[in-house]
Chain A
């Protein structure tokens, strides 16, 4: 038993490592601390270690090294059924031989609660997810969305303070997924529970979470609120993984306070803010969001560097226009513009000049 590190931390990972085969680390030196009531999403490509972290927290995998604490108490050696953590699984894992009510009643039964209390709690949990009318059904008689609601209700029915969700919406169609994202976040905030949510869908991560931990290669690449993550990615992995992103390769030519000048491989010069480049001469990947690129000279700052571009393709997407350009010798530079009455529609073959505000252009690690 170790004493608490910080008073506000509810869930804490400290120097946690995990290896399955004794040769490769799936999770490398994970440090994470989250306060009570937070909705934290672990986001990352498959194989990045996010699910392993969740399983270690749930108790189904043991950490090879390091300590996991829940409410200040080390839970490394507590078996899963004593941790009192609710969990929603990817394929719902509703027991097929039990009715919906029996599924919900199961965690209460193993906690030896009386029948009347059980029934009351089951009905309350069902009404939380608007599924009161389905108590007598079997899971197989429900649609995917309904099953997911029941799985959620089952994870909440015994009133855990921490709920883990392992890609719970992965198998649902887009519309249902959006509805449920909304419902889950509302429910979590209403009940004040702490949620650790695992997904590989960045939209889901951005819309639902208080904070997002971006995983790659067994490490957290960045842990930040969604807006910060999108607008100020700390490295090129995060920049590329979150949202759409244009990348230009180059060398830092000059650093002046919080701006720098980058010479691209094509020889063009652009402005950027240095994020994790430290010295003149460093190679860098410059990242610009498509919607922050301007091609109307009047909107650009005086003296801003511009690049010549040729329009290759114009795609009408309804709310936005997506235009693919050839910039600095690269064919996959994308810009997005809002579909407004005064918006210019570019024509393939057209020669334009593009530019951006220096703060929207981030010079990241190469």
Chain B
């Protein structure tokens, strides 16, 4: 003891530090252990961690707005919604350029659905506008071509845009033309040298030429300078009026505000939505009462899961006790009965409950036959919370019984005998001596049942009606029906956070090392 304290680290026989020697000796073992678990680890990473991570990322991801409307969102950065006025024609010009590309790429409907989650009506707004966007800015094309037919020549355009100084002298035009060229090449497989540019290109050209009357286009073909001379006199298309003509929502501040609010690449909008809130110019605020559903669902999921867990404890405890204390033969038979539900399809069991619980079902018939309930006043046992609780308690009961049983199996009967010999009645001996020792089993069973039920989907869907569905049913709805995956991901993330929080709380209060699933 003392010599190691004096001479620093303990050395192995060959003079190296003992720790390093030990590590080297163990490395092989560790490597072998890693190899053994590698297949499962890889499988879990690919099938579990990555998809869940991606799904959770969707709850904050919001790139679609800035990707589909790059020019518009950039302009909107400067726009002040509190001015109370809808943006002017320059905004609509940017919108037109963005929409042209989006329509060709068929992205505008997806964008419409995305923004529709935030403000209803946006979806149809984009669909309608998408149909008409082809004509926007036609006036400019007509005027340029009327002035000089060369402007209608695709090859001329292509050569013009290839000129080295074009990008600098005509930034808007180059931008619009490039968008046009790359879109028709990728979407329609057409050659830009053979296609007349979109109206948006002419619109951009007009913007470039009128931006600075003194601009010098000497490095470019003479047609530019000629057009510059007359462009100032062209009749301006009233794009704003044209859009408002398609849908008057374009004239409201609200529509533009929605685009502006959701133009950042990441958003907390889904999460706010998931807790019945929404974004507003003044920050987050509650949704109107009639649109609030998620908090209610979360609370209901929690309360019903707790009810199910408690029911499972009450029903499962005596069974587990019997299992642990009966002679081997009877215990085995009982164990088979407990496990029997596992061998039956979940769907079959749930459907069986539907047969049993409905108003004209077996249970109601018996209660009526016994005269406990009037025939015209049959019990509503299904399509409500009662149905969900009954069916789910039955389905999750084995998950409570098995951990309880494995813990009770390890409590020697001598403890009860000792308590009785010390003067305790049967009840006191149970409550003061046996029960506290079975708490780890209750804890393990409760965690299992609670976490399973909090995310349960099929059973509430079938027997829950509207009053007995869980948050998971809503998540499933957003995944498969409304296709609002961002919101589904946000709801899922909140659910996951709640479970982790409960787990943490359990660890603090009871201690997770107190949980025993066996031995």
Residue positions of A touching B, CB distance < 8 A: 58-60, 79-87, 89-91, 93, 95-97, 106-107, 110-111, 154-155, 158, 164
Q: Are A89 and B420 in contact, with the CB atoms below 8 A?
A: no
Q: Are B414 and A91 in contact, with the CB atoms below 8 A?
A: yes
Task: Give residues of chain B (327-375) contacting chain A, Cβ–Cβ below 8 Å.
Answer: none
Q: Are B437 and A96 in contact, with the CB atoms below 8 A?
A: yes
> How many angstroms from the CA of A357 to the CA of B471 in the assembled complex?
95
Q: How far does the Cβ of A345 sit from chain B's closest Cβ, in whole Å?
A: 45
Q: Are A110 and B421 in contact, with the CB atoms below 8 A?
A: no
Smallest Cβ-Cβ distance to B414: which chain A residue: A93
B396-426 CB mask vs A (1 if < 8 Å, else 0) is 0000000000000000101101111111111
A selection of 27 A-B contacts at a CB cut-off of 8 Å is A58-B417, A58-B421, A79-B420, A80-B420, A81-B421, A81-B424, A81-B425, A83-B421, A85-B421, A86-B421, A87-B417, A87-B421, A87-B422, A89-B417, A91-B412, A93-B414, A93-B418, A95-B415, A95-B419, A107-B423, A110-B422, A110-B423, A110-B424, A110-B425, A111-B423, A158-B422, A164-B421
> How many angstroms from the CA of A95 to the CA of B420 in the assembled complex?
12
B417-449 CB mask vs A (1 if < 8 Å, else 0) is 111111111101100110011000000000000
Given contacts A81-B429, A93-B417, A110-B428, 5 further A-B contacts (CB under 8 A): A80-B420, A81-B422, A81-B424, A90-B414, A110-B423
Q: For B418, list chain A residues within 8 Å (CB).
A: 87, 89, 93, 95
Q: How far does the Cβ of B61 sit from chain A's closest Cβ, in whole Å?
A: 49
Q: For A79, list chain B residues within 8 Å (CB).
A: 420
Q: For B424, list chain A residues within 8 Å (CB).
A: 81, 106-107, 110
Max chain B Cβ within 10 angstroms of own Cβ: one of A59, A86, A106: A106
Q: Are B417 and A80 in contact, with the CB atoms below 8 A?
A: yes
Given A91-B412, A91-B414, A93-B415, verify A80-B433 contact (CB < 8 Å).
no
> How many angstroms from the CA of A164 to the CA of B421 in the assembled complex?
10
> How many angstroms from the CA of A84 to the CA of B425 in the assembled complex?
12
Q: Are B437 and A158 in contact, with the CB atoms below 8 A?
A: no
Q: How far does the Cβ of A75 sit from chain B's closest Cβ, in whole Å?
A: 13
Q: Determine the main DSSP class of A at the interface with B.
A: loop
Q: Are A97 and B437 in contact, with the CB atoms below 8 A?
A: yes
> How many angstroms from the CA of A87 to the CA of B428 in the assembled complex?
18
> How many angstroms from the CA of A283 to the CA of B433 in the assembled complex?
57
> How many angstroms from the CA of A85 to the CA of B422 in the assembled complex?
8
Q: How far does the Cβ of B242 sit from chain A's closest Cβ, in whole Å?
A: 79
Q: For B417, list chain A residues within 8 Å (CB).
A: 58, 60, 80, 87, 89, 93
Q: Are A106 and B437 in contact, with the CB atoms below 8 A?
A: no
Q: Are B420 and A93 in contact, with the CB atoms below 8 A?
A: no
> How many angstroms from the CA of A352 to the CA of B314 in the assembled complex?
79
> How many angstroms from the CA of A106 to the CA of B436 in the assembled complex?
14
> How many angstroms from the CA of A85 to the CA of B429 in the assembled complex?
16
Smallest Cβ-Cβ distance to A164: which chain B residue: B421
Q: Are B436 and A80 in contact, with the CB atoms below 8 A?
A: no
Smallest Cβ-Cβ distance to A85: which chain B residue: B421
Q: Determine the main DSSP class of B at the interface with A.
A: helix
Q: For A154, list chain B residues within 8 Å (CB).
A: 422
> How many angstroms from the CA of A93 to the CA of B415 in the assembled complex?
5
Q: Are B423 and A158 in contact, with the CB atoms below 8 A?
A: yes
> How many angstroms from the CA of A264 to the CA of B90 in the assembled complex?
131
Max chain B Cβ within 10 angstroms of own Cβ: one of A81, A82, A107, A158: A81
Q: Are B420 and A81 in contact, with the CB atoms below 8 A?
A: yes
Q: For B436, list chain A residues within 8 Å (CB).
A: 97
Q: How far does the Cβ of A332 sit from chain B's closest Cβ, in whole Å?
A: 40
Smallest Cβ-Cβ distance to B439: which chain A residue: A97
Q: Are A84 and B437 in contact, with the CB atoms below 8 A?
A: no
Q: For A84, list chain B residues within 8 Å (CB).
A: 423
> How many angstroms from the CA of A111 to the CA of B428 in the assembled complex?
11
Among A91, A97, A106, A164, the residue within 8 A (CB) of B419 is A106
Q: For A90, list chain B residues within 8 Å (CB).
A: 414
Smallest Cβ-Cβ distance to A154: which chain B residue: B422
Q: How far does the Cβ of A156 sit from chain B's closest Cβ, in whole Å?
A: 11
Smallest Cβ-Cβ distance to B434: which chain A residue: A95
> How many angstroms from the CA of A158 to the CA of B423 in the assembled complex?
9
Smallest Cβ-Cβ distance to A166: which chain B residue: B414
Max chain A Cβ within 10 angstroms of own Cβ: one of B412, B420, B421, B424: B421
> How many angstroms from the CA of A90 to the CA of B418 in the assembled complex?
11
Among B412, B425, B432, the residue within 8 A (CB) of A106 is B432
> How many angstroms from the CA of A90 to the CA of B412 in the assembled complex?
12
> How many angstroms from the CA of A90 to the CA of B437 in the assembled complex?
20
Max chain B Cβ within 10 angstroms of own Cβ: one of A59, A95, A96, A111: A95
Q: For A89, list chain B residues within 8 Å (CB).
A: 414, 417-418
B450-490 CB mask vs A (1 if < 8 Å, else 0) is 00000000000000000000000000000000000000000
Q: For A107, list chain B residues within 8 Å (CB).
A: 422-424
Q: How far does the Cβ of A197 sit from chain B's closest Cβ, in whole Å?
A: 15
Task: Give residues of chain B (116-159) contacting chain A, Cβ–Cβ below 8 Å.
Answer: none
Smallest Cβ-Cβ distance to B411: which chain A residue: A96
Smallest Cβ-Cβ distance to A60: which chain B residue: B417
> How many angstroms from the CA of A106 to the CA of B426 in the assembled complex?
14
Q: For A86, list chain B residues within 8 Å (CB).
A: 421-422
Max chain B Cβ within 10 angstroms of own Cβ: one of A59, A85, A97: A97
> How many angstroms from the CA of A328 to the CA of B296 in the assembled complex?
96
> How many angstroms from the CA of A69 to the CA of B425 in the assembled complex?
21
Q: For A60, list chain B residues within 8 Å (CB).
A: 417, 420
Q: Are B421 and A80 in contact, with the CB atoms below 8 A?
A: yes
Q: How far does the Cβ of B45 sit from chain A's closest Cβ, in whole Å?
A: 39
Smallest Cβ-Cβ distance to A91: which chain B residue: B414
Q: How far does the Cβ of A97 sit from chain B's closest Cβ, in whole Å?
A: 5
Q: For B420, list chain A residues within 8 Å (CB).
A: 59-60, 79-81
Q: For B432, list chain A residues within 8 Å (CB).
A: 106
Q: How far does the Cβ of A157 sit from chain B's closest Cβ, in whole Å?
A: 9
Smallest Cβ-Cβ distance to B415: which chain A residue: A93
Q: How far does the Cβ of A103 sit from chain B's closest Cβ, in whole Å?
A: 9
Q: How far does the Cβ of B188 sit from chain A's closest Cβ, in whole Å?
A: 77
> How many angstroms from the CA of A285 to the CA of B482 in the assembled complex?
96
Q: Are B423 and A95 in contact, with the CB atoms below 8 A?
A: no
Q: How far does the Cβ of B118 sit from chain A's closest Cβ, in whole Å?
A: 55
Q: Are A81 and B414 in contact, with the CB atoms below 8 A?
A: no
Q: For B426, list chain A residues within 8 Å (CB).
A: 81
Q: For B425, list chain A residues within 8 Å (CB).
A: 81, 110
